[in-house]
Amino acid sequence: MTVDAIHATNVRKVYQTRRWAGWRHRGADGGGRVDDGAVEALSGVSMTIRPGERVGLLGRNGAGKTTFLKIASTLLTPTSGEVLVFGHDVDRDADRVRPLIAVVPQEGKPFFHLTPREQVYTYLRARGFDRTTAKQRTDEALAQMGIEEVADRLSVTLSGGQRQRTMVATVIATEAPLLFLDEPTIGMDPFARRAVWECLRRLTRKGSTILLTTHYLDEAEALAERLYIVDRGRVLVEGTADALKHRVGGTLRVSVPGGDAVRALFAPFGNCVADAEAVHVITEPAQLNEIMDLALRHGLHATVGPVTLEEAFLRAVGRSIDDEAS
């Protein structure tokens, strides 16, 4: 029996903000509930990640993604619940967990007064790699992240995306068995993002496990084999991108320009949402002919596309927001 890379059971986190800060800033925010200066960031999160998986953690700002990543990577004490990393309790047995993990922190920056090459190399050395391995891994990681040309300039002179690439290079170079990446591609151009995806796929082929957060849903879809959507400290849904899309009610989206009249016309074919310009019908391929027919007869210009993960996300989280409001 192989042991899970991450096995989290009912993890809760209540941040205690200082009392004086509490009375000054009391009030609800976008994420957890605020009560007398205490913020419940996680209210019972459970998840299981098997070795070699690439898993994405999605959710609105303040949903609790970073909080979960910090707890699972031994950087934050949970209020209750348990996280096992390769069978070791992150709270009681952090010394056994830490050699097995590496973390790209949210909004992290490399040492400004080191070059990317120095940054990656010295980090590997501090983790205990010998000089030869460290040098070889550094060269590989810099090449994979496409920052060789700037590898010998001080990081303070690099662009935001180049700095972020340096952070990712530092962490992927470890090839640690479990990598936590908190918004690793923020500020990166589309080429750099794809380079990160390729690196992460290669690492999981070699046996590493990856848990990442992102607000780019195309990235989540391209990269993660399984997704958890969290909202207000709870797991809303879990599954593959396809499974999440099926939950929306179909795999195709037909968009027809128009307002309420059009909406009424197409309502029988599936889930309808309207925005300022058009009505979007979520439907299955089997019904496509009928819908297009109807549109033609009414002289409406319909366009067809696949349902995106973004739509599935907006629906899943939107429903949760509505539930909370009512």
Partner 1 sequence: MGAFARLPTFRGLGPFLITELRVQLHENMAVATSMTIQAVLLIFVTILAPQYLAVALVGAIIFSFFTLGQRVWNEAAYVRIDHRLNQLYGASPLAPEAYFLGMAGGILLAYLPPILVLVVVAEAILHFSAATAVTLALTSVAVWLFAVSFGYVVSTVFQDMRTIWPYASLFYNLFGILPPVFYPYGLLQPASAVPIALALPPSAATGLVQNALAPGLLSSGDVVLATGSLAAEAAAMFLFAVYWSRRSVRER
Binding of partner 1 at residue 70 (CB under 8 A)? yes
Are β-strands 88-89 and 54-58 bridged in parallel, bridged antiparallel, or unpaired? Answer: unpaired
Across the strands, what pairs with 279?
Answer: 256, 274
The token pair that represents 261 in the structure block: 């009249």
Contact call for residue 255 and partner 1 (CB under 8 A)? no
Q: How many residues bind ligand ATP (CB under 6 A)?
A: 16
Residues 41 and 16 sit within 8 Å (Cβ to Cβ): no
Q: Which is nearer to partner 1, 174 or 283 (CB)?
A: 174
102 and 193 in contact (C-beta within 8 Å)? no
- Report, in Å, the least distance between residue 63 CB and Mg ion: 8
Q: Answer yes or no whether residue 108 interacts with partner 1 by CB under 8 A.
A: yes
DSSP code per residue over 258-291: --HHHHHHHGGGSEEEE-SSEEEEEE-GGGHHHH
- Taking CB under 5 A as the criterion, which residues in 61-120 touch Mg ion? 65-66, 106
Q: What are phi and psi of 21, to 5 degrees?
A: -75, -30
Residue closest to ligand ATP (Cβ): 31
Indicate which single residue of 45, 59, 73, 256 sits in contact with partner 1 (rule: CB under 8 A).
73
Q: Which residue, 125 or 234, has its beta carbon nearer to partner 1? A: 125
Joined together, the tokens standing for residue 226 give: 């399984």
**CA dist., res. 211 & res. 177, Å (int):** 11
Choice between 181 and 279, CB closer to partner 1: 181
- Asked if 99 touches partner 1 (CB under 8 A), the answer is yes
103 binds, among Mg ion, partner 1, ligand ATP, none (CB under 5 to 8 A by kind): partner 1
Q: Which of 196, 189, 136, 190 has the alpha carbon at shortest distance from 172?
A: 196
Q: Which is nearer to partner 1, 101 or 262 (CB)?
A: 101
Residue 237 host element (H or E): strand 234-239
Subset of 6-45 contacting Mg ion (CB under 5 A): none
Task: Decide if residue 288 touches partner 1 (CB under 8 A).
Answer: no
